Amino acid sequence: MTSPTPPPWHVTDALALRYAEGAAAETDAWSLEKHVESCSPCAGRVSAAVRAGAAGPALAAVRAELLASVGHRPAPAAAPAPARHPLGRGARIWWAAGPALRGSWVVAVALVLGGAFALAYGAGFQGARSWLLAASPVLPLGGVAVSYGRHADPLYEITAATPSGGLRLLLTRTAAVLAVCVPLLTAGGALLPPVAGFPGAAAWLLPGLALTLATLALGSFVGCRAAAATLAGGWLLAVTGPLLGQPGAGTGGAAVLTRYFSGLVAQGSWAAAALACAALLVLRRRSFDHLETR
């Protein structure tokens, strides 16, 4: 005997109304958002509930601007398109990750890489690889700082009021930042001239992950910008400060970087720090729902 197939689940009018008002439970909101990706009637029901609310006019203006930015052209009036999710898949991806991948931060990462290659291959500076390795762990912090909050996101007031906002959205944008930094900085370090005794090009990954998670955890108390600035400043003083007193290609520079990057003790400590910050972030996850000024 086989158990009967449960009836298909759909969004009710009451759930759509609670979601539009930002009052739906987090698990209900996640189920709704996943369901409307493949169910046009429910997507239309949720869209109608949102448009009927107090934020309807503002959302309509934002929707029109987003659709225009991704090249959407409305169907002719005589042949309306069937109900679909309020935003296309491309627009939803850009809304989730877009602020993390635009602005001066991406330019800064490109300038750091370009400067390292110019010093190494143009000026013959043998310490370029060590300086890139020292700077790599803090570069993602800048992307995190400018990817979430009123100062960075024109849709912040809207996203902060929905279950999709808060830590869930911040983690999505942090992942987008790391998706840019990890391959670029690791490949860039590997392509620079090697120096005997220096850590490998991928040695920055665990320190970078730990500092990124520490920024999110500290950001739950003081905001992402203040957390990123504090941790980046501390890192630069601790790591690049000693490098300033070392010969560009000497073994002293290797000793400074080895202390932070090489060996089981150093890497194990960064892994433990990353786990501790992740645990604190889970405990503080609700604090990101209303960080309206950070």
pLDDT confidence band for 64 (50 / 70 / 90) = confident
Choose from 18-32, 54-68, 80-94, 99-113 the range with maximum mean pLDDT: 18-32
The mean pLDDT value of the chain amounts to: 79
pLDDT digits (tens, 9 = 90+) for 267-276: 999 999 999 9
Indicate if the pLDDT at residue 124 is higher than 70: yes
List pLDDT tens digits, range 145-154. 887 777 766 6
pLDDT in tens, 84-122: 444 445 444 444 555 555 667 788 899 999 999 999 999
Angle between helices 264-283 and 251-261 (to 10 degrees): 40
**Does the structure show a pLDDT above 50 at 123?**
yes
More confident residue, 196 or 175: 175
What's the pLDDT band for 207 if we cut at 50, 70, 90? very high
CA distances from 22 to 13, 15, 53, 158, 243 (A): 14, 10, 11, 10, 51
For the cut 80, the answer to whether the pLDDT of residue 208 exceeds it is yes
Report how far apart, in Å, the C-alpha atoms of 244 and of each of 2, 229, 241, 248 are: 72, 21, 5, 9
Q: CB count, 10 Å around CB of 265?
A: 9
**Lowest mean pLDDT across 54-58, 155-159, 229-233, 281-285:** 155-159
Q: Average pLDDT in the 272-288 region?
A: 92
Per-residue pLDDT for 3 more than 70? no
Q: Which long-range contacts (CB under 8 A, 24 or more apart) does 69-77 make?
A: 69/94, 70/94
pLDDT band at 53 (very low <50, low <70, confident <90, very high): confident
Kindly tell me if the per-residue pLDDT of 293 is higher than 50.
no
Give yes or no for residue 261 having a pLDDT over 70: yes
Grade residue 51 by pLDDT with cuts at 50, 70 and 90: confident
The rounded distance, in Å, linking the Cα atoms of 267 and 261 is 6
What pLDDT, on a 0 to 100 scale, did the predictor assign at position 84?
A: 46
The pLDDT tens digits of the residues spanning 127-147 come to 888 889 989 999 999 888 887
pLDDT at 8: 75
DSSP annotation of 247:
-
- Residue 171: left if φ>0, alpha if ψ -120 to 50, beta else—which one? alpha
| Lowest pLDDT segment from 46-60, 71-85, 159-173 | 71-85
- Domain residue ranges in the chain: 13-73+80-87, 93-288
Give the per-residue pLDDT at 115.
Answer: 93
Does residue 77 have a pLDDT over 60?
Answer: no
pLDDT at residue 82, rounded to an integer: 44
pLDDT at 43: 86
Instruction: Calculate mean pLDDT across residues 50-78.
Output: 69
